[in-house]
Amino acid sequence: MSTVSNSTNIFWQDCQVGRPERQKLLNQKGCVVWITGLSGSGKSTLACSLSRELYTRGKLSYVLDGDNLRHGLNKDLGFLPEDRTENIRRTGEVAKLFADAGLICVASLISPYRRDRDNCRAMLPDANFIEVYMNMPLQLCEARDPKGLYKLARAGKIKGFTGIDDPYEPPINCEIEIKHDDGVCPTPTVMAGQVVTYLEKKGFLEH
């Protein structure tokens, strides 16, 4: 069976309205804010807070939440390493489209493997991929355990759970790192402000 990747009779179709025109219309620059970290580290909290803060500033964003995507686009994938890789690849491709549309795409996924995140970075101009590392220790995330997943993993009811019996590979050169202070996480507003400050400094909030 022929696959798209092997096909030789497909062609890229350009249109008169491109990324520069869309960015001018929105008065912002498209990019991907990729939030990574352990379960319970605050990824979704930051993503939603950031989206709200951008909204109050009149900036258009869209959140790609890892759990939400598994209800639709990635519902056919499990949690084996190859499934995790495909999960991130698909999300990266969708995020790239949002950025090309001129939106600030906020992707919130554990995305445990460094190679997979780097592959998503390679889909865009490097400056347009902003990796945000939620650097929260396992003990803190497990104590919070908002979804009760760590408890299930410790009981052996979930296999291949990141941080317990599957590795998490932290970023080496992320653009933004968010840390706790003596076991206390920053507030959602403070975390969102840190990302917004970066976006402002790099010129993403204006055309």
Which pLDDT does position 6 carry in this prediction? 67
* 41 classed as catalytic: no
Local confidence band at 31 (pLDDT 50, 70, 90 cut-offs) = very high
The mean per-residue pLDDT over the stretch 34-59 comes to: 97
| Pair of tokens at residue 199 | 């976006």
Which pLDDT does position 4 carry in this prediction? 53
Q: What is the pLDDT of residues 165-194, one digit of tens each?
A: 999 999 999 999 999 988 788 999 999 999
At residue 10, φ and ψ (nearest 5 deg) are -115, 150
Local confidence band at 2 (pLDDT 50, 70, 90 cut-offs) = very low
DSSP state string for 124-184: S-GGGEEEEEEE--HHHHHHH-TTSHHHHHHTTSSSS-BTTTB-----SS-SEEEE-BTTB
Query: Over the chain, what is the mean pLDDT?
Result: 94
Q: pTM of the entire structure?
A: 0.92
Domain 19-200: CATH superfamily, name plus number: P-loop containing nucleotide triphosphate hydrolases (3.40.50.300)
5, pLDDT greater than 80: no
The mean per-residue pLDDT over the stretch 19-47 comes to: 97
Catalytic residue among 44, 49, 51, 111: 111
Q: What is the pLDDT of residues 89-124, one digit of tens each?
A: 999 999 999 999 999 999 999 999 999 999 999 999
- How far from the centroid of its chain's Cα atoms is residue 146's Cα? 19
Residues with Cβ < 8 Å from 24, sequence gap 6 or more? 207
30, pLDDT greater than 70: yes
Local confidence band at 1 (pLDDT 50, 70, 90 cut-offs) = very low
3, pLDDT greater than 80: no
The mean per-residue pLDDT over the stretch 20-27 comes to: 96
